[in-house]
Structure 1
Amino acid sequence: MITLKDVGVAFKGTQGTINAVEKVNLSIDKGDVYGIVGYSGAGKSTLVRTINLLQRPTKGSVWVNGQNMLALSPKELRNARKKVGMIFQHFNLMDSRTVAGNIAYPLRKSGLSKTAIKEKVVELLELVGLSDKYDAFPSQLSGGQKQRVAIARALANDPDVLLCDEATSALDPKTTLSILELLKELNKRLALTIVIITHEMQVVKEICNKVAVMENGHVVENGDVVSIFTQPKELITKEFINTATHIDQALDKILSHPTLLNLQENDTLANISYVGTNTSEPLISHLSSRFHIATNILYGNVEILQGTPVGNLLVVLSGDPVQKQKAFAYLESKNVSIDTLKNQSEKIVQFKQKIS
């Protein structure tokens, strides 16, 4: 569906050339909800704009629906762009036009009759849940409603791809979830391929099946969401994941209240992570019954990623060191990962830095 090969984007400025994107290779399949996550300045928005050539790459190639976008004539490019819808953080609605007028705007040169355009607008408003806002103006809408109008407008030409550039960043958490639910529904109902640019791993967790992590213009890690969340390789990826699973916040609270930690000589602070069917097994009770290891759960979290349960526990393990090692081996045999730290304050700080 979308293939980026060795894509680079460079800008020339007064202080020299700035490489906003460098040697990016991505393959996005039809029907994917593909997240591209990174901090501000990582190059993610520049990268997504190369897909419809709003930003022409200075290097590499861009293929969409089997077409080499860089080889298209201006007329061919205009037609190709109609099949790539786009929504933005600040909606970009025209205040002087009604909701219907905003949605109909991309159809003004479509050759459709006024009646057909009106029917299309009514259909799109129903699709995004705003049937009663046909004659309203943007100033009369909430932020979430404005974004729904922007989505309807982006769908006016029946695109195969929808690009979302920080589309939920201006919305409150509840409205964000409602927009993500709408995008999920559109992905399924319309077989729409969606590319989401975001700096929030929470968004990726809620909707995406695949994700790429960007840093300093490079894609440093990419893959399916479950693999990235459970086996991150890069430090920046771990940082994003911890913000979504709240492990870093939990550890901050624990470390700021020594009475919660209260480690003894043979105690071990550990982060236990497990995936899939292991989340339903009584692993913690087995540590006690089989190995006589007491487990104090300080924090627990279970996510459902693409239908797969993913669990994290911050625990203090107490008991005989030999038995504890046997318990660790048992957990590892169940494909449970364990990050451990003994009771030295300096190492606790290191542990905090490791998972944050």
Structure 2
Amino acid sequence: MISLQDISVTFKADKNKAIHAVQHVSLEVDKGDVYGIVGYSGAGKSTLVRTINLLQRPTEGKVIVSGKDMMALNDKDLRESRKKIGMIFQHFNLMRSRTIHDNVAFPLKNSSLSKQAIHDKVTDLLSLVGLSEKANAYPSQLSGGQKQRVAIARALANDPEVLLCDEATSALDPKTTSSILALLKELNKRLNLTIVIITHEMQVVKEICNKVAVMEDGGVIEYGSILDIFTKPQNQLTKDFIDTATHVEHGIETVITHPTILNLNEHDVLTKLSFVGGSTGEPLIAKLANTFNVQGNILFGNVEILQDTPVGTLLLVLSGTPEAIAKAVRYLQDNGVTVEIITEEIIAEKKNKGGDEE
């Protein structure tokens, strides 16, 4: 559907200095994907996504959308191709002097549709985004969430195959953000709409995306399915982003640094267990006592559903003989559980970190 091949974007700051906003990025977005591109400000994510519809022409590389080489198109064909790529922004970009109906109708003003056909289409689009009663209102009379719904309806006016969302929820409160993401998810399924979302919030990615790329300093440092990225992150920046969305590491740090909760005996082993899929619902911890005579004391637990797959985390103290604990750990690993032994050095590091933050 979308193929970005070795994309670089360089800006000339002055005669002697160049800014490399995007550096040799390649990404594949399949039809029907909700693809998240996450990174902090200045990472290059907005610049990268604007190359998809050539609002930003790459300095190097190729942009293929629906089988078309976008950079090889003449002006007329490029305008036609851009109609199939809708875009919404952080600050909505509505025309204040026009009604909501006229804002949504604006992309159709030079189309071959009759006035009645345009009116009917705008009516259908406003119904689709839940704003039928606001057709004659003006942007100033709408909430932020309603304005973004208008922007989405306007972006759908030309029946696009792709919708680009540039920090589309950053100006919204959490409840409104959830409602907009739910709407985008519904549109993705109902219209088979391919969506690319730029965000600095991993929570947004977790709620709606099936794939994600993490950007830093103009490059993609990690990409993959949501399940793979959340359960097997390879990069520290990715891990930091994930923690903002799950708060698992913060919860574990709170337990470890609390003076009365963590009270280990001589042979106790503190472990972090990560479950994915079917193993999340298995009574594995109960079997440790029955099979290996190892007691498991749960200090922290978290379960989430990512792309219809349960993902769980437990902070667990294992008590027993060293030999029995070693067998119990192997048993857990053989049953698809990732086991991380939290050593005294790690505990001391987290305690020092907690002290520094205070």
Alpha-carbon displacement from aligned partner over 1:208-248 (angstroms, at most 9, x marks no partner): 11111111111111111111111111111111122222112
Contact map agreement 1:37 1:211 (CA 8 A) in 2 = yes
Contact map agreement 1:251 1:352 (CA 8 A) in 2 = no
Contact map agreement 2:165 2:197 (CA 8 A) in 1 = yes
Matched residue, 1:133: 134
Q: Say whether residues 1:4 and 2:13 are aligned partners.
A: no
How far apart are the structure 2 equivalents of 1:62 and 1:351? Answer: 45
How far apart are the structure 2 equivalents of 1:139 and 1:349? Answer: 54
Matched residue, 2:356: none
Amino acid corresponding to residue 72 of structure 1 in structure 2: L
**Deviation, structure 1 residue 122:** 0.3
**Deviation, structure 1 residue 12:** 1.1
**Deviation, structure 1 residue 312:** 1.1
How far apart are the structure 2 equivalents of 1:88 and 1:350? Answer: 41
How far apart are the structure 2 equivalents of 1:171 and 1:265? Answer: 51
Matched residue, 1:22: 23
Matched residue, 1:93: 94
How far apart are the structure 1 equivalents of 2:295 and 2:129? Answer: 52
Q: Residue 239 and residue 5 in structure 1: after superposition, are their counterparts in 2 closer, same or farther (change >3 A)? A: same
What secondary structure, in the 3-state scheme, does the structure 2 residue paired with 1:243 have? helix
Matched residue, 1:347: 346
Matched residue, 2:234: 233
Contact map agreement 1:7 1:25 (CA 8 A) in 2 = yes
What secondary structure, in the 3-state scheme, does the structure 2 residue paired with 1:303 have? strand
**Deviation, structure 1 residue 349:** 4.2
1:254-333 to 2 correspondence within 5 Å?
Answer: 254-333=255-334
What secondary structure, in the 3-state scheme, does the structure 2 residue paired with 1:316 have? strand
Matched residue, 1:57: 58
Amino acid corresponding to residue 260 of structure 1 in structure 2: I
**Deviation, structure 1 residue 341:** 1.6
Matched residue, 1:122: 123
What secondary structure, in the 3-state scheme, does the structure 2 residue paired with 1:9 have? strand
**Deviation, structure 1 residue 324:** 0.9
**Deviation, structure 1 residue 267:** 2.2
Matched residue, 1:152: 153
Q: Residue 9 and residue 353 in structure 1: after superposition, are their counterparts in 2 closer, same or farther (change >3 A)? A: farther
Matched residue, 2:254: 253
Query: Which shows bigger deviation, 63-72 or 262-271?
Result: 262-271
**Deviation, structure 1 residue 289:** 1.8
Amino acid corresponding to residue 11 of structure 1 in structure 2: F
Contact map agreement 1:341 1:351 (CA 8 A) in 2 = no
Aligned CA-pair RMSD: 1.6
Matched residue, 1:178: 179
Matched residue, 2:214: 213
Alpha-carbon displacement from aligned partner over 1:148-186 (angstroms, at most 9, x marks no partner): 111000000000000011111111111111111111110
**Deviation, structure 1 residue 352:** 8.1
How far apart are the structure 1 equivalents of 2:77 and 2:157? Answer: 19
What secondary structure, in the 3-state scheme, does the structure 1 residue paired with 2:317 have? strand
Alpha-carbon displacement from aligned partner over 1:106-156 (angstroms, at most 9, x marks no partner): 111112111111111100001001111101111111111111111000000
**Deviation, structure 1 residue 294:** 2.1
Q: Give the % identical residues.
A: 65
Aligned pairs, number: 352
Q: Which runs of 4+ in 1 moved over 6 A?
A: 351-354
Query: Which shows bigger deviation, 247-256 or 75-84?
Result: 247-256
How far apart are the structure 2 equivalents of 1:16 and 1:322? Answer: 62
List gaps (5 residues or longer) in structure 1.
Answer: none
Query: Which shows bigger deviation, 253-262 or 305-314?
Result: 253-262
How far apart are the structure 1 equivalents of 2:198 and 2:352? Answer: 27
Q: Residue 352 and residue 107 in structure 1: after superposition, are their counterparts in 2 closer, same or farther (change >3 A)? A: farther
